[in-house]
Every structure is written in C-alpha cells, then in structure tokens.
C-alpha cells in the first residue's frame, strides 16, 4: 500500500516485507556481521516463525540472505524460535535455539554452519539428534525458551541460561555442557523475581568496571560486573540490573538488593533484546526489536511490521555506577550528510522556535540545554515523588522548569508533532530531579495508533548540562539522554508531517525559566538494505 509506504524507515534494519520480531544469534564472523531474526515469511503478523538472515560490513548497510532455518523438523515444526550464537575458540560456531515441537513443547536445539569457510554462513545444519534439551521436571512445556550465548568457566564447561517461570515467579535456569549436545541442569537458579511471570530472551554478560572496552561473554573477575537482562512477557519490556556473578554457587547477586526486576533499557518500545561481543571492534553491542504501535490492521495493509534498533554499544556508566550507557554504534555517523549548527538559541517561557533544517524525516540531532540559573534558584520546592512523565500532563502541561525540548516529525502548522523533552522539578531537599519523556499524544491524526507519554527520571550529575541525541527516521525516533543513561524509542505515524513537509522545532513550556539550546543537526543518508545476489561484488 503506497499510501503508507512513507512509514518505512530509511536506515533502520527491516526485511523487505512481512513480520519480524526478536533479534537472534548476532555475531561477527570472518569479516561480516551476521544478524538473524524471527520472521514470518507469510504475512505481517506473528506466526509461521523461521529465521531470517542478513549480513553487513558495518552494522548499517545490510544484504538480505536466504532464510537460515525453516520449520522442517518435528522439534521445530511450530516455530524456529529465538536463540543465540557462541563462537568457540577452535573456530566452531554453535547456534542454540528454541523449537516449538509438533506438540507445541518448547525444546532447545543445536544448529551449526554447513561450511565454516563460507564467511556468509548461508547454509545451516540442524544436529541429527535434536532436541538437546527438554523442559525439566517442574517446568511447564510452554515455559522453556530462548537460550543465551554460552560462557566458559574455570570448571572447564560452557554454561547457558534459559528463561522460565514457576507459578508467577520468573526464573533463569542454568545448564552446563562440554559439547553442546549433552547438558546438565545446575542446582538452584541464576536469578528469580516473584510476580514477574515468564522470562523471555534472558541475556547475561560482563561489563568492565573501569575500561571503555566491551568484554567477551566468558570474562569474569574483580574488574567486572555482570548484567542480567530479562524480557517480561507480562508487560513486553526489557529490564536489566547490575550485579556480581558468583561462580562458586552459580548465582548472580544484584548490587542493589531492592532493585527488583531492574531498570528499563528503553522507556518506549524495545523488546526481546540481545547483546553480542564484537570481536572486530572490542565492544559489546545491543540489538532490540522495535515493534509497531499502530493497529494490526494497519500492519497488514502496509505489508510489514517491526524494525530493529540501530545497534547500541553498551558500557557501564562509570559516573553513576548504577546504570549502563547505551549509544548508537559509531558506524551510524557514516550516514551523516550536510549539517547545521545552532549556537545558544534562546527559547523564552511559553514559546516555540522553528529550526531551519529543510526536511526533517531523516535526522541525527545532538542538543544541549541550559535553563536560566536564576530561575532554578528561585523556583519553589515540590513533591517530586508524585511527578512522572505521564502525570505532568505531557508536553503541554506547564510548570516552573519544564517541559522543554524538541518537537520532531512536526508539520508547519503544528497540527502533528512529537515532543522529546526534559522536565525539571525541585524536590523538598532543594535538589533538582530531571525527567526525560516523549509525548505521542499529538503525533498523528490517525486514531488507531499509540498516543502514550513515555519516559522516566534520568540521573543528572552536578555540573552536567542536559543533553540529548535523537535519531529520527520516518516512523521511528530513538532518543538518548545524558549520553545514553535513559533511552526512549518511539514509533510514530504522522499523516501530514511526512517527507518534505516535516519540520523541527524547539519548545519551552516552562513558566519560570528561559532556555538556551545549542544543537548540531545532520541530514541522514539512507542505508543500503537489499537482497544479496551471489554474483554481486561484495
Ligand atoms: N519471541 C520468540 C520466543 C520469545 C519471544 C518467538 C519473545 O522465542 O520468547 O517468536 O518476543
């Protein structure tokens, strides 16, 4: 349907058509980044799931390859579900994935490349004695899925984690193995949290306490914290927490015992995410599935659904020590075309300032904001505990110190626009608390799309300016506050603010404080994401 074709993104990963969900088995192999994904070859809704496959030299431009695995065995005939890759030191590539069997039992299966000397890894072989794991006693046959990348420990074995639940407690089981064919279930669980339901797509990986490098999955020791991430089926959000992996008893202990399920990777749409260690650049890279927030009917009309996030590097935030920093991989900068800089633009309380960037559908924006210092001093204290992005009345609500920020995917008449903004409030202790939000309520004239306000508080340290990076791409806005401490990914469906009619504005709805904003804005090129032909020059 060409009516809706403008909603397709220009530099986010998408198949040519149909439904996509979770990222699967990402890795770097013989010069290529490999990306697999949950894919329905037959329609734009979830079902008939197989593994799509694409390769890239830079995580931005992609070549679509033939399906890597289809549902052709009794142990995955109801779906080739999510899995992860492990690169062994001897050069083998291990793929473990969940199959839904002919009786809809969730089992784990082993697959490997047919030809390790093919850098494109086009053909995959399923192990002849699959499945390698069945749901253990006490686990429901539909609550056993999404094996992680394996990590190696000093006992000479590889370990994998698999999400599950017991009653309503989400749990993570750990198995160890020497050959990825026979496995043993360890006593106890890696982690468990009551009332969180089924844990999907668990991820478990080390981050460096001091370094700027990413770490391979098996690294452990005093210099390392371990991130535990789970995707909650009950609310479709990804949560992570930092902690310590205690090899001796095989559990993971959160730094903050009160953290519960953890904090969100992203306060918008971002699910079933998975990291991999990029041996090529020595970094850890996070992929997340970004679904639609329009109606299923609209997806069927469009003929496609979902995109993937721009891959994000993940590092521990050394300044706070309590969160990760997520940042778009540096390769996305290669899409930057012409840029415009705006130095210390003043935005008075209650005003909107247009930014002359011509069309504004494909942008990379870096912005810094400063509120008038005197206004910050004289502002009254409020009960910050009662404030959140959605209680503040969205971007239209007005208080002393906000909201203020950018209006993206806006049309000239400000009929449609999506505010990405900060909201500052002074607490009873005199300290400022900052919220980072996206308000979708005016994003589209269409009625069958999500119009929620997304967001959370964001840590801002003394002497730090408020800063944001935005990646705008037709129907997606990925927003990173304070260097990636708090992220919000939004899918929006403007009907007027499209192509050449799209504009960008600054706004300040604070009643007390004037705002100064400095920005650099790049037009973004489209990425090449297209089918691979064997005779083409790579
Ligand atoms: N998607 C897969 C499952 C996983 C879920 C099926 C998460 O393996 O638990 O498509 O989105």
3-state secondary structure of 384: helix
- Helix H, strand E, coil C: the string for 76-130 is CCCCEEEEEEEECCCCCEEEEEEEECCCCCEEEEEEEECCCCCCCCCCEEECCCC
- Residues 289, 158 share a domain: yes
A 10 A CB-CB count for 423 gives 27
Ligand 1 centroid, distance to 134 Cα (angstroms):
17
Q: What percent of the chain has pLDDT over 90?
A: 95
Going from the Cα of 79 to the center of ligand 1, the distance in angstroms, rounded, reads: 10
Q: Quick one: tokens of 167?
A: 């009653």
Instruction: Give the separation between CA 217 and CA 64, rounded to whole angstroms.
Output: 27
State pLDDT tens for residues 432-487: 999 999 999 999 999 999 999 999 999 999 999 999 999 999 999 999 999 999 99
pLDDT for position 536: 60
Domain boundary residue, one of 328, 359, 376: 328
Whether residues 312 and 340 share a domain: the answer is no
Q: What is the mean pLDDT of residues 117-134?
A: 98
User: ipTM of the predicted structure?
Assistant: 0.99
Q: Which atom of ligand 1 is nearest to the CA of 146?
A: 8
Q: Above 50 in pLDDT, residue 424?
A: yes
Determine which residue's CA is closest to atom 5 belonging to ligand 1.
200
Q: Give the nearest ligand 1 atom to 98 CA.
A: 8
Residue 9 lies in a domain: no
DSSP state, residue 46: S
| Residue in 18, 37, 38, 71 to alter for ligand 1 test, most ligand atoms within 8 A of Cβ | 38
CA nearest neighbour of 491 among 476, 470, 509, 511: 476
C-alpha span between 93 and 91 (Å, rounded): 7
Asked if residue 488 belongs to a domain, the reply is yes
Q: Are 329 and 59 in contact (CB under 8 A)?
A: yes
Q: Do 88 and 237 share a domain, yes or no?
A: yes
Ligand 1: residue of 21, 108, 230 to mutate (most ligand atoms within 8 A of CB) is 21
What pLDDT is attached to residue 391? Answer: 83
Closest ligand 1 atom to 163 CA: 9
Q: Both 341 and 323 in a single domain?
A: no
Asked, for residue 372, whether it belongs to a domain, the answer is: yes
Q: Tell me: do 206 and 77 sit in the same domain.
A: yes
CA 272 / ligand 1 centre spacing (Å): 7
* Predicted local confidence at residue 409, as pLDDT: 98
The answer to whether residue 3 sits within a structural domain is: no
> Residue 370 maps to which CATH number?
2.60.120.560
Say if 537 falls within a structural domain: no
Q: How far is CA 460 from the centre of its chain?
A: 22
Task: Kindly state whether residues 197 and 76 are assigned to the same domain.
Answer: yes
* 298 and 395 assigned to the same domain: no
Domain that holds residue 392: 336-524
How many other β-carbons are positioned within 10 Å of the β-carbon of residue 166?
14
Ligand 1 binding pocket, CB closer than 6 Å: 21-22, 38, 49, 81-82, 98, 145-146, 200-201, 272
Q: What residues are annotated to the active site? A: 22
Q: Please check whether residues 321 and 422 belong to one and the same domain.
A: no
Among 305, 328, 351, identify where a domain stops.
328
**Can you give the pLDDT at residue 4?**
64
- Whether residue 345 sits in one domain with residue 294: no
Which two structure tokens, joined as six digits, stand for 201?
A: 């797509």
DSSP track, 313-365: EEEE-TTTSSSEEEEE-GGGGGGEEEEEEEEEEEE-TTEEEEE--S--SEEEE
pTM: 0.97
Mutate to test the pocket of ligand 1, among 19, 39, 41, 82 (most ligand atoms within 8 A of CB): 82
DSSP 431: -
Residues 6+ apart with CB under 8 A from 331: 58, 59, 60
Domain boundary among the residues 328, 355, 370 is at 328
Across-strand partners of 252?
245
What percentage of the chain carries pLDDT values higher than 70? Answer: 99
Specify the residue for token string 């020059």. 537
CA 92 to centroid of ligand 1, rounded, Å? 26
* Amino acid 46: pLDDT: 98
In the chain, the number of structural domains is: 2
ω into 403 cis (within 30 of 0): yes
Ligand 1 atom nearest the C-alpha of 289 is: 11
Q: Is the peptide bond before 459 cis (omega within 30 degrees of 0)?
A: no
CA distance 240 to 228: 5
| Cβ contact 80:48 at 8 Å | no
Q: Are residues 267 and 377 in the same domain?
A: no
The per-residue pLDDT for 247 is 80
Distance from the CA of 22 to the center of ligand 1, in angstroms?
6
Instruction: Report the candidate in 294, 287, 262 with the shortest Cα–Cα distance to residue 478.
Output: 287
Calculate the average pLDDT of the chain: 96
Give residue-wise pLDDT tens across range 333-354: 999 999 999 999 999 999 999 9
CA distance 301 to 11: 22
Q: Is the residue at 538 inside a domain?
A: no
The verdict on 412 and 511 lying in the same domain is: yes
Residues 426, 378 contacting (CB under 8 angstroms)? no
Structure-token match 């997304």, residue found: 454
Structure tokens at 250: 């095989």
Q: How confident is the model at residue 1 (pLDDT cuts 50, 70, 90)?
A: very low
Is 532 a member of any domain? no
Q: Name the residue with higher pLDDT: 533 or 35.
A: 35
Expressed in angstroms and rounded, the spacing between residue 313 Cα and the centre of ligand 1 is 23
Q: Are residues 299 and 431 in the same domain?
A: no
């Amino acid at each position: 349907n060409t009516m809706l074709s403008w909603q397709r993104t220009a530099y986010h990963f998408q198949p040519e058509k149909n439904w996509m969900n979770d990222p699967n088995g990402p890795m770097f192999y013989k010069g290529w980044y490999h990306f697999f994904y949950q894919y329905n070859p037959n329609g734009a809704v979830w079902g008939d799931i197989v593994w799509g496959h694409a390769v890239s030299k830079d995580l931005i431009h992609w070549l679509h390859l033939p399906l890597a695995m289809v549902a052709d065995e009794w142990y995955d005939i109801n779906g080739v579900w999510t899995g992860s890759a492990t690169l062994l030191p001897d050069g083998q590539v291990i793929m473990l994935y969940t199959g839904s069997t002919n009786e809809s039992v969730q089992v784990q299966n082993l697959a490997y490349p047919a030809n390790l000397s093919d850098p494109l890894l086009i053909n995959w072989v399923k192990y002849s004695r699959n499945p390698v794991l069945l749901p253990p006693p006490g686990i429901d046959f539909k609550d056993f899925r999404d094996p992680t990348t394996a990590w190696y420990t000093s006992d000479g074995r590889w370990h994998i984690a698999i999400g599950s639940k017991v009653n309503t407690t989400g749990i993570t089981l750990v198995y160890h193995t020497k050959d990825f064919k026979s496995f043993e279930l360890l006593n106890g669980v890696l982690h468990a949290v009551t009332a969180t339901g089924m844990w999907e797509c668990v991820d478990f990986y080390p981050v460096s306490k001091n370094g700027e490098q990413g770490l391979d999955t098996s690294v452990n020791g005093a210099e390392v914290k371990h991130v535990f991430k789970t995707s909650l089926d009950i609310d479709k959000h990804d949560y992570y927490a930092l902690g310590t992996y205690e090899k001796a008893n095989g559990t993971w202990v959160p730094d903050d015992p009160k953290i519960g399920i953890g904090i969100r990777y992203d306060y918008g749409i971002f699910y079933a995410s998975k990291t991999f260690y990029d041996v090529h650049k020595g970094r850890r890279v996070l992929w997340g599935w970004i679904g639609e927030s329009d109606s299923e009917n609209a997806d069927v009309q469009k003929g496609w659904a979902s995109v993937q996030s721009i891959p994000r590097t993940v590092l521990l935030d050394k300044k706070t020590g309590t969160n990760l920093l997520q940042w778009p991989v540096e390769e996305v900068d290669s899409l930057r075309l012409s840029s415009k800089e705006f130095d210390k633009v003043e935005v008075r309380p209650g005003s909107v300032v247009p930014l002359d960037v011509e069309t504004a559908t494909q942008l990379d924006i870096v912005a810094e904001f400063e509120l008038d210092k005197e206004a910050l001093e004289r502002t009254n204290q409020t009960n910050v505990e009662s404030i959140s992005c959605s209680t503040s009345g969205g971007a239209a609500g007005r208080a002393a110190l906000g909201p203020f920020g950018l209006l993206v995917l806006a049309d000239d008449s400000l009929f449609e626009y999506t505010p990405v903004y900060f909201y500052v409030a002074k607490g009873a202790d005199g300290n400022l608390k900052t919220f980072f939000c996206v308000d979708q309520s005016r994003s589209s004239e269409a009625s069958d799309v999500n119009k929620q306000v997304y967001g959370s508080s964001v840590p801002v340290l003394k002497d730090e300016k408020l800063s944001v990076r935005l990646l705008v791409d037709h129907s997606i806005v990925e927003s990173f506050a304070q260097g990636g401490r708090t992220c919000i990914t939004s899918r929006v469906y403007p009907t007027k603010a499209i192509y050449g009619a799209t504009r960008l504005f600054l706004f300040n709805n604070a009643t007390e404080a004037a705002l100064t904003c400095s920005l650099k804005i790049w037009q973004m090129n489209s990425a090449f994401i297209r089918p691979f032909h064997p005779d083409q020059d790579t």
